[in-house]
Structure formats: structure tokens, C-alpha cells
A = this chain, B = another copy of it.
Amino acid sequence: MKPVPSPKTIRDVARQAGVGVGTVSRVLNGGVNVSPKTRNRVLAVMRRLDFRPHAQARRILRRRSGMVCFLLSNRAFMHSFHARILQGVENCASALKQHVIYAVAQYDPTTPSSQIPLPPILQERGWVDGLIVAGFVYANFLRRIQGLHIPFVALGNNVLTTDGVGNFDLVSFDEFRGTAEATQYLIDQGHREIVFVGDTFFPWFRERYRGYAATMRLNKLVPAGLTARRKAAFPEYGEWAAARLLASETRATAVMAGNDEIAYGIWRAFLRSGVSVPDRMSLIGFDDREEARLMDPPLTTVRVHKEEIGDALMRLLLEKLHHAGPPYTRRILSTELVIRESVKSLRNSN
């Protein structure tokens, strides 16, 4: 095995083909104003020398690196949700001949803005053309990102500040309508006492609660939520809520869970207490993670189109790159209620 196949340059090709460097460059870039004879000769030499152009050098001149950074604001969050979004971003990027750099910013809401560590890639020029921000976005983080003067778009559903909102582009999905539709579905199935479960400290659960509550009131029903702040993982939160619900000898027949993980916790607690889903209790989740389909019974849930969100993020960013500056756009994707088997119809007729 040859040690290093000593990289050939455009000048090597030019010399061997007996042409000027400019001609080789023209062949590389679509070959306008190059005679077919010359082009073929140059191409043949390129193949023979295994010439591959040097990307870095091109990018200097082009003033565009062809790279975007997918910045996740907290290491702990690379779960399937963000993984699927990254997948959508990559998918779209590769179709548009862009590349995705994956990076993580570790910070907490109290870190002074200027001290939030960022990968050097974002601090030097010329690395990335733009930035896709996902994960928790607190005010300090937002300021840090904005100070970079790199065009960016954010995944909007977990922006936890209202300060600079409106001053940047974001893609999100309609949490409000998601639970609104799901709640309406429960009501249509004859449910009257429906409980929402989810810690409304988090803005997304707040929004989902609002969608639920509005729909309840629209139907002259009274909203009831287990929405207390509790620093627990989601499945555990669900278990806690289920236990409280059962202890209160509730007359509720359905639970609207803030997300699938909470739904899972609720389901598990119900299972242990001998409360059958959906016979005794109907259950709806939110997100449609892979596991929702696999639960027993398969969970009816509000699907978030994760790949599409990734796609929208990438596209929006590229739009920004081409004609930068305000105005800023919000792109809100819709959700989809996927009906499986965790909801029982209480209607006798029909």
C-alpha cells in the first residue's frame, strides 16, 4: 500500500494535459467555453492522476463553506426526537449539496451569556454559513447566538424566553392545535371528564394545556390538569400523576398526556394498579415516538413530523443565506392525530 497518494493539484493536471490552469478550472466548473476535445483530454488526465479538487481552497474564493451547523443546546437531549430532526436536516442538506456539522453547547440558564462555551467552529469565520439551533433556548443562549452574527434558525418549540423572540427565524409545530384536536377527538368519542397531565413550567406543555383547555371550554366542559412543577423525568412524572389521579377516586375516563413519555408512565402505573387501558381509562400521548406504536395497546397520539421539521429548518436557513436580514419568519407545521387503540368510544350508538 502506497503511504500517501501525494495529492495532485490543478497545476499538475494542467502541465500533464498541456493546458493552462484556467482551462482546468473551467473544466472543473461545468466546462463553459472549453472545446470538447480539450475537456476530454483534461478529464482523462484527471482520472489518470486521481485528481480530486481541494475543497478548502474553493470555499475561500466562493465565500461560502457549504456547511451548516446543527447546534444542540444540551448534550442530554440527543434522544430520538432530536435525532430524527437531525435526520431530516441531513436529508434535506444532502439533497441541496450542503453539509451538516453536529455540535453541542453545554450551558445552563444562569451561565453569563458571554461565557457560554461554543465550539471553535462557530467562533472563527469561514466554517459554517449558518446555524440550526435545537434544544432548550434560554435568553442568555439566544444572546450568545445572536452575537455570533451568523444567520440562524431555531427549532422553536423549546425556546424558553420571550425576550428576543420575533427577532429571529424559527420553525415549530402547532402544539395548541395538536392537543385541541386530540381533545376534540376524545369528546367526540363520548368522553366528558378528561384530565391533562404535564408540567406547565415548560412552555410547550403550557401551550398543549391551553389547546386542551380551550377545547374543553368550547364544549362546555371543565378542564382539569395535573400540571404541577416537579423535577422528575417524564415517565416518572406520568406515574406520579396517575397515582394522584387514582387516589382521588376520579370520575375521569380519559387522560390527555403532555407527551408520549408521560403517557408511558401513566400507562405503566395504570397497569400496575389494574386499571385497564382503554377499557377503564383512555389515553392519548403527544410526539409519536417510535415506542408509541409498540405499546400495548398501541398508543393514540399526536404525531409531530420530525423529519419535516428538520427539512423546514434547513430550507428556511438556506432562504436566509440567500437574502439575509429581516423580516423574520415563523414557520409553524401542523401535527397529526394518529388513532391507534388506546382510546375507547363511550358512545352506544354509532
Contacts and interface: CB of A to CB of B under 8 A. Distances in A.
A94 B83 contact: no
A126 interface: yes
Nearest to A296: B268
A324 B5 CA distance: 13
A120 B54 CA distance: 11
Interface in A146-170: 149
A91 B100 CA distance: 17
B57 A126 contact: yes
- In which size bucket is the chain A interface? 35 or more
B103 A101 contact: no
B100 A5 contact: no
A294 interface: yes
Q: For the complex formed by this chain, how many copies does it contain in all?
A: 2
A70 interface: yes
Given A90-B103, A124-B53, A127-B55, A79 B80 contact: yes
Contacts of A296: 268, 271-272
A301 to B, nearest CB: 16
Given A56-B59, A65-B56, A90-B104, A99 B83 contact: no
A125 interface: yes
A87 B97 contact: no
A67 to B, nearest CB: 8
Contact of A124 (B3, B54, B100, B119): B54
A296 B296 CA distance: 12
A83 B79 contact: yes
Q: Which 9 A-B pairs have the closest CB atoms?
A: A83-B83, A55-B124, A54-B126, A56-B126, A55-B126, A102-B102, A55-B127, A52-B125, A56-B56
24 contacts: A1-B326, A7-B125, A52-B123, A52-B124, A54-B126, A56-B60, A57-B126, A67-B101, A70-B102, A78-B86, A79-B80, A79-B83, A79-B290, A80-B83, A90-B104, A91-B104, A94-B119, A97-B120, A99-B101, A100-B101, A100-B102, A101-B102, A268-B296, A271-B296
